[in-house]
Amino acid sequence: MTDTAIEEMTFEQAMSELERVVGQLERGDVALDDSIRLYERGALLKKRCEAKLKEAEEKVAAITLDGSGQPTGTTPVEGL
């Protein structure tokens, strides 16, 4: 596990750690209590990845195009 708090992770960091957690759970080589902790961490990592993807989608959706399809700027998305 990394020392970075989940809420501060980039999408790539969260996805990488989520893949590691899933791998450990799939192998089944951890004790039950550790499996529960890993599952809980995995759920938080998944939530972080989903939030970062939603942010990216909103940023892309905010790009405005002119009549010829060229970007003319972006419209700030509330809260980003």
Sign of the CA dihedral with 72 first, then 67, 77, and 47 last: negative
- Report d(CA 80, CA 35) in Å as an integer: 34
Q: How many residues does the chain have?
A: 80
Q: What is the pLDDT of residue 58?
A: 86
Model confidence over 32-77: pLDDT tens digits?
999 999 999 999 999 999 999 999 988 887 776 766 777 776 665 5
Predicted pLDDT of residue 59: 84
Mean pLDDT of all residues in 1-16: 90
DSSP track, 1-54: --SS-GGG--HHHHHHHHHHHHHHHHHT-S-HHHHHHHHHHHHHHHHHHHHHHH
Predicted confidence at residue 77, as pLDDT, reads 57
**Which domains, from first to last, does the chain contain?**
6-74 (1.10.287)
Cα 29 to chain center, whole Å?
26
Q: Which pLDDT value is given to residue 56?
A: 92
